[in-house]
Amino acid sequence: MVLFADEKTIREFRQEAHKLLLKHPNETIYSDFTNTMTVGTTEDCVKTTKETPEDQLIYYAASICIEDAFLESKQFDQILSFCKPLKNYKAYVVSNNENEFAFKKRSCLPDYQSLPTNKMSLTLDRTRSPEELINAAVISSLNVGMQTPLSQLKLLIYTDADDQKHPYISYNPFPILAARHQNKFNELTKAIEADENLLMSVIRDKEKNTVSVCILGTEDQVNAHTRQKFISLWTAELPEDAFANE
């Protein structure tokens, strides 16, 4: 389920999800993303988060993966009622191979020092509808995460000034990029798929045009493919009419 909400509602969702993490730590996969995790190096983000009280953090997103049986909080239904789904969004459901996205708890590293510098990058076709891009982004990112050895995918626990923990934050830079030329994006995809040094996941539509590409490699390897004139950082906002009225 992917929902959108204002800052206040995301914070409320985060607080309820965090309570469940504390109550059911072995059955919960949880993460959030704040304004202090967006600028500078990993070291800069860790330092800034550590210096910021929890109530001053701005939550851009929060997520939780947990069995329905553990969703004991009555607050969730009320919080979710203030969230908006996309009009035509349909959640991706694994039907043929349930193990394709079998969630596994990975250990978070207590120390981020002296880790190899890898980079993950997600590039999306800017011309697509929001609901199509959401699924493509989720599926391609999960695909790469699931196939990545622990030696290459480093997950950290950020701690704020109030000692609240923010787990499962990637050590590796992970920019979201927009491709603005379909034919060139298709050509780039073929070059990426021919690169044996990368871990990758490519999502195409029925016409074999690229919708999303997620790759993981060294910074030089990733930059060689993504620093193209027709690719830029994703900065677009969703239009209000993209959301359902319910």
Residue 1, in any domain of the structure? no
Average pLDDT over residues 194-205: 93
* pLDDT of residue 230 exceeding 70: yes
CA atoms within 13 A on the CB side of 26: 0
Residue 2, in any domain of the structure? no
Residue-wise pLDDT for 57-114, tens only, equals 999 999 988 777 777 667 777 888 888 888 877 776 655 555 555 556 666 665 656 5
pLDDT of residue 135: 85
* Containing structural domain, residue 101: 7-242
Residue 83, in any domain of the structure? yes
Q: How many domains does the chain have?
A: 1
* pLDDT of residue 210 exceeding 80: yes
Residue 208, in any domain of the structure? yes
Cα(70)–Cα(79) distance, integer angstroms: 17
Residues recorded for the chain: 246
Residue 218, in any domain of the structure? yes
- 41 CB neighbour count, 10 Å cutoff: 10
Residue 201, in any domain of the structure? yes
pLDDT of residue 215: 95
Domain containing residue 151: CATH number = 3.40.1490.10
pLDDT of residue 148: 79
Cα(83)–Cα(79) distance, integer angstroms: 7
DSSP state of 66: -
